Structure 1
Amino acid sequence: MGIGTSVFLLALGAILAFAVNASIGGLDLDVVGWILMGAGVLGLIMTTLLWGRRRQVVAAEQPAEYRRVEERRDVAPPL
C-alpha cells in the first residue's frame, strides 16, 4: 500500500467517523470509519518502514581498470 492509498483511507475513515450521521441497517459507519483510519495509519507506517530500507547507502565498487590502446603506424595495414 502506498502513501497515497494510506492518506485516502485516513481521509475516508475520518469522513465516515466524524462527518456522516447516517445509519445503514446493521452497519455502524463510525466503526467502519475508525477501522479505515487504522488501516491508513498502519499503511503509512509500513510504507515508511519499507521506504527506509530501500534508501540504504550502498558502497560503489571500484571502476574496472582502464586499458590504454595504442595504434602502431610503423606497420602497413593488411591488404
Structure 2
Amino acid sequence: MKFLSYSLAVCLAFSSVALATPAPQVTDPLPVYHCGGLSGSKCPTGWRCCGPIQVDVGGTCYQGTTGICPL
C-alpha cells in the first residue's frame, strides 16, 4: 500500500511541475514588410513577396529568396 501512495505522490509531483512550466515567449519578433499593392513597394534584399496580395496592403515579405510561401 505504501508503494502505491508513493508512486501516486511522485506522479502528481511530476505532472504539477510539467503543467506549471511557462510556454517560451518570442522576445524579438521579425518585422512585417509588405510588397506590391497600390504603393508598389518591394521586399528588402534577401526576402520574397508572398500572397495573397490585397489591393490596399499588398503581399507579405518572408525571409529567403526561394521557398514555399506559408499559408
Query: Which structure carries more relative contact order (alpha carbon 8 Å, separation 6+)?
Result: 1
The normalised TM-score by structure 1 is 0.36
Which is higher, the Rg of structure 1 or of structure 2? 1
Higher relative helix content? 1
The normalised TM-score by structure 2 is 0.39
